[in-house]
Amino acid sequence: MDLHRPGRDDGHMSEDTPPVRLTRAQEGRLISGVCGGLGRYTGIDPVVWRVGFGVLVLASGWGILLYVVAALLMPNDPRLGAPIERLIRRRFDAGGVLTILGLLLGLGILVNLPQHGVATSLSIVAVLGLAVMVAQGRGISIGQIVRGIPERLQGHSAHDFPPPPPAPAASPAAPAAGRPVDTLPPGAVDLAALGQTLPDTYTTSYAAEVDDRVMDRVYGRRRPGAVLGKTTFYLALLAGCLMIPIFSGRPNDQILEIGASVALAVVAGGLLISTWYGRGRGLVVAGTLLSLTLVGTSVTSDAGLSGGRFGEVRWRPVDPAQAEQTYKMIAGDGRLDLTDLAMAPGQRVVVHAEVGAGRLRVKLPGTAQVELSASAGLGDVTVDHKVTSGPRAKVSQTLLPVTATPRPPVIELHLRGRIGDLEVSRDE
């Protein structure tokens, strides 16, 4: 029995059919046979998969994680199972493995967007978009896969999926049992026979939908909504990507906002068309996601943290001219070390630092006089181990030099925090 045959797994398997497994290739492998296995399953040349993984590795390193996860999820021998399957005692069919990889890819986009900017993230989006387009082109239903994500992530085998509604067994003119053929006029549908093929467990709405699909299959009709939805989606993707070269001179967050706005306008156009013609399947979901993306960028801009950084960030300026800037951090743990600042006697330097969520620690030279102005929306302000508790904690004071100096340099320090703590300490 060939358990790793190439082909499509649409989640509709009969009870006698084993789930389609996605296995690593035994022959022609370069590393572990992941790309070979994906190529054999999807019918796409493994070179294309290797290029895709290469782009992801070069773009953000996310491709390495994806490759390792794929290697752990794809067994060498379908009878033995993959390492992860043996560990958690569950089995993933081909669709399940691809779903997990797709979700990881989506997570990679979200993680890379703030860290590496729009251009890097869009390269990952491009790979994801190409994968979706190829899948759609090969007749794989993305919507069906999305609906089955919870079951697939639980590692259910294809046997656990509900059986598909049976297709009409015969031509439109097929007669019901016990009825002569000539009682139906040519081209008519025997609804009694058609109804007998549907199980009783379907709810009314689902049965109606299934009935529509059966009728579509019988008459070979294609619903106009499917075309409109797909066309609008691809046009929105294209329009959004076109904004990158057009507005390449602008900051990354503005390019993201423009691209998302244009894509949203295209989605809105598709919805307006679907008011009178066709049906824009999935366009409301796409519009909602794009709107939320836009709001996210607006909130970031409104917080004054546009261009801010995430995670653990350290700044250690040396040149006073370069130190005079606004250090922005959206979320994470930031450290601003001003102890190496080469300041002349009497020189004045103005430094701004802002944090959205997290902690910001500032270390000051003991030889400088510091005019401090700090405010924390929801958090504490700590100056030389003296804590001013929030919410809306404000500290405004002058810190004299630790060692007496005739004309000490002056640091005018403005700190602003929204959710998190601000800490200021002197170099001993």
Partner 1 sequence: MNDDQNRSWRHRFDPGSLIAGLFFLAVAVTHLLAVFGHVKISGTATVSALLGGLALVMIIRFLTRARRRDMP
Contacting positions for partner 1 (CB under 8 A): 186-187, 189, 208, 212, 215, 219-221, 223-225, 254, 257-258, 260-262, 264-265, 267-272, 274-280, 283-284, 287-288, 290-292, 294-295, 298-303
Burial of 134 (0-12, 13-18, 19+ CB in 10 A): middle
What is the closest distance, in whole angstroms, from the C-beta atom of residue 332 to partner 1 in the complex? 20
Give me the residue label for tokens 């990881």.
104
List the beta bridge partners of residue 247.
none
Identify the three-state secondary structure at position 269: helix
Closer residue to partner 1 in complex, CB, 140/210: 210
Closer residue to partner 1 in complex, CB, 82/290: 290
What is the closest distance, in whole angstroms, from the C-beta atom of residue 223 to partner 1 in the complex? 6
What is the closest distance, in whole angstroms, from the C-beta atom of residue 107 to partner 1 in the complex? 24
What is the closest distance, in whole angstroms, from the C-beta atom of residue 328 to partner 1 in the complex? 15
Supply the angle between the helices 94-137 and 62-73 in degrees, to the nearest 10: 120
Give me the residue label for tokens 């802002």.
354
Identify the three-state secondary structure at position 394: strand
Closer residue to partner 1 in complex, CB, 160/216: 216
What is the closest distance, in whole angstroms, from the C-beta atom of residue 232 to partner 1 in the complex? 11
Identify the three-state secondary structure at position 396: strand
Closer residue to partner 1 in complex, CB, 175/366: 175
What is the closest distance, in whole angstroms, from the C-beta atom of residue 419 to partner 1 in the complex? 14
Could you give the residue ranges of the DSSP H alpha helices within 346-405? none
Closer residue to partner 1 in complex, CB, 213/407: 213
Given a contact cutoff of 8 angstroms between Cβ atoms, the answer to whether 62 and 112 are in contact is yes
Closer residue to partner 1 in complex, CB, 147/221: 221
The string over 241-263, giving b where at least 16 C-beta atoms fall within 10 Å of a residue's C-beta and e elsewhere, is bebbeeeeeeebbbbbbbbbbbb
Burial of 265 (0-12, 13-18, 19+ CB in 10 A): middle
Closer residue to partner 1 in complex, CB, 345/391: 391
Element (H or E) spanning 57, and its range?
A: helix 46-60
What is the closest distance, in whole angstroms, from the C-beta atom of residue 280 to partner 1 in the complex? 7
